[in-house]
Chains A and B, each alone.
Chain A
Amino acid sequence: MDSSTIVMLAIFIPFIFAFLVPVASKLLKQRIGWFAVAIALLTLFLILKITPIIVHGDTIYGEIVWLPTAGLTFNVYADGLSVLIGLLASGIGVIIMTYSNGYMSTKEDLPRYYQYLLLFMGSMIGMVFSANTIQLFIFWELTSFTSFMLIGYWNDKPESIYGATKALVLTAIGGLVMLAGFLLLQVITGTFDIPTILHDESMIQAIHGHELFLITLVLIFIGAAAKSAQGPFYIWLPNAMEAPTPVSAFLHSATMVKAGIYLVARIHPLFAGTDAWFILVSGTGMITMVVAGFLAFRQTDIKAILAYSTISQLAYIMTMYGYTTYHEPGIGVAAATFHLVNHATFKASLFLVAGIVAHEAATRDIRKLGGLRKEMPLTFIIACIGAFAMAGLPPFNGFLSKEMFYESSLEMGVALGSPFTLLIPAIAVMGGVLTFAYSIKFIDGIFFGRRQTRGLPEHIHDPPAVMLIPAAFLAALVILFGLFPSIPVHAVVEPTTAGIIREDVELHIKMWHGFTTPLMMTIITFMIGLGVYTKYGAIAAWQDRFNLRYPKISVNYYYDLLVQNAQASARTISSITQPGTVKTYMSALILTVVVLVGIPIILLGADIIPQSLNFDIAVYEVLIMLFMVIAGIAAALLPAYLPAIIALSALGYLVSLLFIYLKAPDLALTQILVETLSTIIFLLVIVKMPQKFRESIPTTTLVRDLIIAGAVASTVFIILINATQGIIPPFESLSHYFIENSITLAGGRNVVNVIIVDFRGYDTLGEISVLCVAAFGVYNLIHSRGNKT
């Protein structure tokens, strides 16, 4: 199979099978989760199949022409970076869906859950393999949307809805800003195609020199920051923890939040090597890293601690991608990419541990938990591996990438010169210290200390194998990548790095480098970290006090204020424009038409009544019209239903008579039949509807309605007598064609009939469909009666 076809299959298989989940769940019942696992495995296999090509140093491009006239093609592009994230999305997907089989209660709506998970996985894979920015944007918003559905999975909890809304508002707004950035990029380069820009050195030069450079960069970066919860956008991630824990592990730590990182890495070749890139990306990263690490201290929910640590760890990666100078645009790229892989493994395993603890101990409050190491020995070991990797202890993979982080920070500091030589490594160490402290807290708080009895189940034990094995598998990866870093480095990190900085790279990552500066920084980190940990409680308490005293120093405060104001003004506006009475809407519609006709007449100063009027008419026609008016007035004025309906049907029959004089015999015939039918329907309904309500019209209403009715009548009259004043159309009438071809093409003499059944046969088909739909509606309305009484 063609490799680009494989990529497209990997995108579409999750989507196709997501829609088959409800069908499959009829067969598999509670075991539907294994169906989803199989799909994820298939996807993983497909992406693994193209990995050798990428490792070899090639890229894959393929396209399906979708709408050639509009220049729309569906195209895919695979290089190291996209394969890396694609592998993460499908690989972690397999693990998470397996774990969900144990975590999710069988009472839950499982098909919906797995459907969203598969849709998310497909969107994520679609996003990373998109070869044009518009397609990337569509998949990007699809991941936001599926994330929204998954955070709000328990849609009876107000916290879930709040969290889901917040995530959607922030990431979708970010996405729209990003789209604006993409459009500007198109203005600069003249193309939406990503590989075209990446492979064209002159285009990259053009971007660097363009006056729109800064604004384009800022707009795209806002999208990335919103998705990866960086800068002020971090606030959605802690609230997203209302999602089921496997979802948090999958979307909100390992994959979806990496979309922002992916975007930054993707546009790295376009924008890096400039001061703006360093200040924006690294600056945001460093601030977020320290602030989020600090804020993690006061969290009492174990998932919230992990959420803040995710924000902080993503900021590490962001910072490293931001390290750039003109001569060396990609100082931290290799380190960032490696940390991206490592973070996905250890953070997902920690989330799974949090899920296990919440599942078995029925609480996520770290104040209630404690001393569980004897009861859950296996979980304890997995948690230690994950947390130590996060803290950066050897021999786990987190140690290696943190060393690289320190190394690249040093390099960047030296490149920038004083005073940054010291400042940047110092900030990096600060981030490391905070990470170390909350990592230890996670282990200490759950597994050590005094075992509480109140609020905890009496017997807590390790979970069933279906939950333990996925977590253990991730922990095993953490150790494997730590001891043999060359495995992930060769397979994905090197091709990715090579793709971003566009030259061949060969990385040698070892546990022991000798006694280097980064190692000293690590030792300093651990020493200060232990010191900070002894003050952990005091710092958390100070944060709580500070928050209580200055509630306005918080991003959440402004978000809530904004949302509340928006809701309030929306309510005000809609209560003005949508009062709810049909009468108001009707009056507004009618008056608009009257005004639209009136204004041109007044402005043009046209003669309202034309000079030549045709009063030439036969007596019987006048009589018909007179009767029509009388019947109409009777239908309006007769208070009882029955006489009014008889007057209406009299009007209908008179109309059919009039059609004869208007030389429309077919219409006259139809009108008689239809009028008969509708009179019967009217009477059938009226017999069952005793008239209880008689409207007494107040004088003011009467006057107002009469004025409206008069205005409408005179408007119609003016239009009619002007419109038929022998205006000759400037184009040939379509009707000539019908008259000339009626016999030759359709073999019918009655042109009206030929038009109905032949020339415009599809219109008639539509008309029949309307009748069918109306008949179904009537049938269902009548039968909906039985349900209530």
Chain B
Amino acid sequence: MNNTFLSLTIAILFGIGTFLILRRDIVKVIIGLGILSHAVNVLIVSVGIFDGTRVPILAGSYNEAETTGSVFNDNLAEDILSPVVQAGTHIDYVDPLVQALVLTAIVISLATTAFILILAYRIHEEYGTTDIRELRRLWG
């Protein structure tokens, strides 16, 4: 179960990001996108915790690895699938999959941020302004 304060922080960051991408100044919009991507990343990671208590790095030797940890309990074993699914036993790790996804997302957001920054820079160079409304007027 997620901490309420954490959820609140993420929500506030979302609000700030939204407010910023509605601005007329391109640089402010880019800052807003940055805040939004932080908020999204934290959100995804935070929902992958479940009741896990351990970082998903396995212990033990390579020969007899400890691989029994699971990321959450399921109730499949109590249902009609009980013959095929073993009852989830103990909960150890936080979900590694969401972390892997977010890792990719962080790197990609660097790429997009760099790109739109240079775009903004070129727009400023060509048109001498970073005001979106002014730009629309200049384009006609």
Contact = CB atoms under 8 A, between A and B. Distances in A.
Interface in B33-49: 34-35, 38-39, 41-43, 45-47, 49
Given A663-B55, A713-B12, A756 B100 contact: yes
Nearest to A749: B58
B89 to A, nearest CB: 11
A622 B6 CA distance: 8
Contact of A742 (B53, B58, B104): B58
What does DSSP make chain B's interface, helix, strand, loop or mixed? helix
Interface in A680-704: 681-682, 685-686, 688-689, 691-695
B97 A735 contact: yes
B11 A770 contact: no
A625 B9 contact: yes
Nearest to B93: A739
Contacts of A554: none
Given A635-B35, A750-B57, A752-B99, 18 more contacts: A582-B132, A583-B22, A583-B132, A587-B22, A617-B3, A644-B31, A651-B13, A659-B45, A662-B45, A670-B103, A717-B11, A734-B97, A739-B56, A739-B69, A751-B93, A756-B103, A781-B122, A782-B122
Contacts of A674: 106-107, 109-110
12 contacts: A586-B22, A651-B13, A663-B55, A664-B94, A667-B102, A674-B110, A720-B7, A756-B104, A763-B104, A771-B110, A775-B111, A781-B122
Interface string A642-674: 001100100110010011001111110011001
B54 A663 contact: yes
Interface residues of B, number: 98
A710 B17 CA distance: 11
B18 A713 contact: yes
Contact of B126 (A641, A671, A782, A788): A788
A771 to B, nearest CB: 5
A667 B11 CA distance: 20
B98 to A, nearest CB: 8
Contacts of A688: 121
A693 to B, nearest CB: 5
B45 to A, nearest CB: 5
A712 interface: yes
A648 B34 contact: yes
Contacts of B97: 733-735, 738, 755
Contact of A612 (B1, B55, B59, B74): B1
Interface in B65-100: 65, 67, 69-76, 85, 93-97, 99-100
Given A645-B31, A739-B69, A777-B115, A713 B107 contact: no
A118 to B, nearest CB: 40
Contacts, number: 300
Contacts of B53: 663
Q: Which of B3, B39, B76, B133 has the most CB of A within 10 A?
A: B3
A678 B34 contact: yes
Nearest to B32: A636
Contact of A705 (B13, B19, B111, B124): B19
Q: Interface centre among A613, A632, A773, by most B CB within 10 Å?
A: A632
A721 interface: yes
A774 B67 contact: no
A621 B49 CA distance: 16
Contacts of B29: 582
Given A632-B13, A750-B57, A771-B111, A580 B96 contact: no
B131 A695 contact: yes
A601 interface: no
A205 interface: no
Contacts of B19: 636, 705-706, 708-709
A190 to B, nearest CB: 40
A747 interface: yes
Given A695-B23, A709-B18, A713-B14, A685 B57 contact: no
Nearest to B8: A717
B27 A686 contact: yes
A750 B100 CA distance: 11
Contacts of B131: 693, 695
A712 B15 contact: yes
A614 B34 contact: no
A681 B113 contact: yes
Given A613-B4, A681-B114, A628 B9 contact: yes
Interface in A380-420: none
Interface string A277-306: 000000000000000000000000000000
